[in-house]
Amino acid sequence: MNYYGGDSAVFILIGKMFNAGKVPYVDFFEHKGPTLIFIEAIGLKLADNERSSIFILQVINLFITQILIYKIAKTYLPHFISIGIVMLTLLAFSFTIQGGNSTEEWSLPYLYLCLLITIGFEDYSARKQKVCFVIMGMSAAILFWMRLNNMGIICACLLFIMIIALQNKNLKLFLNLALGGLLGFLFISIPIIIYFTHIGALSEMIYASFLFNFSYIQYHLEQPFSLVDLIKGWLSLLTFIIGSILYYKKYRDYKMLVLCICLFVFAFVTTHIGPQYFHYMTLNLPLFSIGVIQIFCTQKIRLLNRNSNLVILTGAFFMLFGYTFYKKNQKQYIKDQDDTLFISNSTDIVDKIPVNERPFIFAYNVSARFWLITNILPGYKFFTNQEWHGLHDKSILTETNRLIQEIPPLWIVIPNDNANIKFINTELSNILFEEYQESYRNDDLILMRRITSN
């Protein structure tokens, strides 16, 4: 299918620029952390086709995630039902994936791994505990340097183990967790800091990955409310709440209740405060899995029958693949996943530019798909969504204007919204009006050429 996605196109592009030798956050701007850039850069090495290459890495990532879901479920439930839990989690994932290749998707193995460690750490030997705590610290660091909100569940797990250590007055456990977690965190963080210091981009990386996002999270997203929105936004949390209540009511497991409270608080804060995009809710999938596991555990007597287990597995299978078949045949879904027209119009625009002049293009507020489709690397730091970024930090617009005045692009591509072009960046509008003239347009894009004096 001819689909590049929104955020996915940006992430593939930053990985491509990194592999081409451009300096992250200096030569190109992105407000996700460096571990995402490294993941995309590695993913692009797996195949010649960019999207296929990232898809291969996604398959590996999701396969590891499914194994971890199974191992968590198998701690409480029989084999067939554990497989069913995996399928039901995939069903919930299909509600929040939004094109895939998101930071939330890449976070899932680390979240599930830390959750698996947390539910079983008391049965581990002292040596295994220390190793696991280092792993948790490393996992936290990977997500910390990707997107701060994504490490919420890991923070909940660490807090829970600390509570258990303090409650049991187990100073050794507390110190092992603190030192092991810190060691793991530093093991990932120190090389990142050294690398960005070495290339002279540490302050730019800190600004883009953290400081910019503090203003970004204050943005209030206006979304129409519907039942579908409620399901996508709250399915995992509501399932988790129901499962936690039923489980505690039946087993009176105080430790599990404390873990559930920690998980819910961190999950709610990191996904429901600030913008609430559906793909953010992918971070709550571990809660969905635990919630479903707890619901089945309360019916444990009925689950001892092998035939009942197979019925549950079969039901989960048909729910997953039935919904997938239904979704793939929806006209609106097919339309949303088809970039054929934009591909054609992007190619059409670039065909109007001489080959030797194509490196001198600047695209303003145009989807990152444009660069991937045309196989051109941006020559300016702020290469897409400039107006969106400028809403949160006006200095981005100022810097964009400075760059194109210092090195005026020969060609500028802007969106064609079939109306008067109105930018928040009024200075750029003036530059376009005074120094550029329209050369060509199609349904998606307008090509502007710089006016040169004879």
In a domain, 323, yes or no: yes
Q: Which residue has the higher pLDDT, 232 or 225?
A: 232
Per-residue confidence (pLDDT) for residue 391, from 0 to 100? 85
Q: Please write the tens of the pLDDT for every residue from 37-56.
A: 999 999 999 998 899 999 99
With cut-offs at 50, 70 and 90, classify the pLDDT of residue 185.
Answer: very high
Least confident window among 120-124, 214-218, 294-298? 214-218
Q: Which residues are CB-neighbours of 69 under 8 A, at least 6 positions away?
A: 85, 86, 89, 112, 289
For 392-418, what is the mean pLDDT?
89
Per-residue confidence (pLDDT) for residue 220, from 0 to 100? 55
In a domain, 423, yes or no: yes
Residue 277 in contact with residue 217, Cβ under 8 Å? no
Same domain, 325 and 394: no
With cut-offs at 50, 70 and 90, classify the pLDDT of residue 204.
Answer: very high
Residue 39 in contact with residue 101, Cβ under 8 Å? no
What domain count does the chain have? 2
The token pair at 449 is 């050429």
The token pair at 339 is 């970039």
pLDDT score of 221 more than 60: no
In a domain, 328, yes or no: yes
Same domain, 43 and 150: yes
Same domain, 179 and 194: yes
Same domain, 189 and 237: yes
Per-residue confidence (pLDDT) for residue 223, from 0 to 100? 56
**Domain boundary at 286, 307, 333, which?**
333
Q: Which residues are CB-neighbours of 103 under 8 A, at least 6 positions away?
A: 32, 36, 146, 147, 150
User: Three-class SS of residue 156?
Assistant: helix
Calpha distance 440→446 (Å, rounded): 6
Same domain, 292 and 371: no
User: Three-class SS of residue 415?
Assistant: strand
Rounded to the nearest integer, the mean pLDDT of the chain is: 89
Same domain, 346 and 318: no
Same domain, 133 and 167: yes
**Domain boundary at 333, 367, 384, which?**
333
Same domain, 309 and 393: no
Same domain, 265 and 354: no
Per-residue confidence (pLDDT) for residue 304, from 0 to 100? 60
With cut-offs at 50, 70 and 90, classify the pLDDT of residue 454.
Answer: very low
Same domain, 181 and 253: yes
Same domain, 328 and 356: no
Q: Which residues are CB-neighbours of 197 under 8 A, at least 6 positions away?
A: none
pTM confidence score: 0.92
In a domain, 1, yes or no: no
Per-residue confidence (pLDDT) for residue 420, from 0 to 100? 60
With cut-offs at 50, 70 and 90, classify the pLDDT of residue 201.
Answer: very high
In a domain, 2, yes or no: no
Same domain, 255 and 371: no
Per-residue confidence (pLDDT) for residue 320, from 0 to 100? 81
Q: Exposed/middle/buried for 95, CB within 10 Å: 0-12, 13-18, 19+?
A: buried
Q: What does the DSSP 8-state code read for residue 24?
A: B
In a domain, 85, yes or no: yes
Q: Could you tell me the residue range of the domain that residue 400 belongs to? A: 340-450
Q: What does the DSSP 8-state code read for residue 302?
A: G
Per-residue confidence (pLDDT) for residue 5, from 0 to 100? 82
Q: Please write the tens of the pLDDT for every residue from 75-104.
A: 999 888 999 999 999 999 988 888 889 999
Task: Supply φ then ψ for residue 218, to 5 degrees.
Answer: -80, -5
**Domain boundary at 283, 316, 333, which?**
333
| Best mean pLDDT range from 175-184, 219-228, 318-327 | 175-184
